[in-house]
Structure formats: structure tokens, C-alpha cells
Amino acid sequence: MKYSDWKNLSAQERKNIGWHRHPHIKTATLYSIAFFVTAIIIIFGISKNSVVHINRKPTSKEAFESAKIFVRERLKQPGTASFPDNNFSPVIDTTTNSYQIKSTVKSIDANGQTTKSNWTIKMTYKGGDWSERNSWQVQEISLGQ
């Protein structure tokens, strides 16, 4: 039944037809269902894209990624730093949340020469998102030739 037909019916005829034939109810129901389905899709889409690093201790690879930030800060030309992908040595104590990472870095020094330096960092994980700088406390860092 079309809305224009509904307007032409008498009150008694409208009462006898029933609610499921009422054009306003059909339209409102369809729009409500479409709205809720869209809202659910958006909510699940947003929650699926969020990255959560909280409530777990960082892995050795994640600690290495964080350690590179602190080592890069100690270099004279941090933009030229080149770290090996997976060549690092971790020592992790999960009871005290302490991480010791050893690796190398290639960078250009003040004379313009590429140098390869060994580095060691001891740091403590304070909690929170491991990828954030303020989640770590550096205990000791050594950068040598």
C-alpha cells in the first residue's frame, strides 16, 4: 500500500488493515534497521583498526625497537643511523621488567665517514604502551666503536 492510498482510507479501514501495512511504520522500521546495522559496522570497524599494546610485557623485538630511539638520540647525526633488522642480543628479566639490548649501528660521524659502533642499553619497562617513549626508563647506555 502506498502512502497516498493510506491517506484516502477512513478511520475504520485504517484500523482493520493492521500495523504492518501502515506506510509510516514500514518506513521507520526499515530506516531503524539500516541505522543500527550501519552503527554496528562502524563500531566494529573502528575497534578492529585500533592497535593495543597495553597490559602485556614487550617482546625482545619490541624492546629493540624502543632501544633504537634512545640510541639514535645519542648519535651526532641521528638521521644517518642504520640499524640491523634482527641482529641484536637481548637479556630480559621479566620479574623486574629490565631489558638489556646489545647491537650495532652504522652512522656518519662529524668527519663524514661511515662508522659502525657497538651499543648496549639497559632500560626498565614502566608499563603502558611499549611503543611510547615515556613507558621506558633508561638505566644505562653505552655507545662505542
Domain spans, the chain = 3-49, 60-144
DSSP annotation of 57: P
**Torsion, Cα of 123, 127, 128, 134 (10° steps):** -40
Number of C-beta neighbours around residue 116 at 10 A: 10
Q: What is the pLDDT of residues 86-129, one digit of tens each?
A: 888 899 998 888 999 999 998 887 788 888 889 999 999 988 88
Residues 6+ apart with CB under 8 A from 86: 61
pLDDT at 3: 66
| 5-9, 88-92, 133-137: the lowest-pLDDT one | 5-9
Report the candidate in 69, 86, 71 with the shortest Cα–Cα distance to residue 132: 69
How many Cβ atoms sit within 10 Å of the Cβ of residue 107?
21
Spatial separation of the C-alpha atoms in residues 124 and 92, rounded to whole Å = 10
Predicted TM-score (pTM) of this structure: 0.60
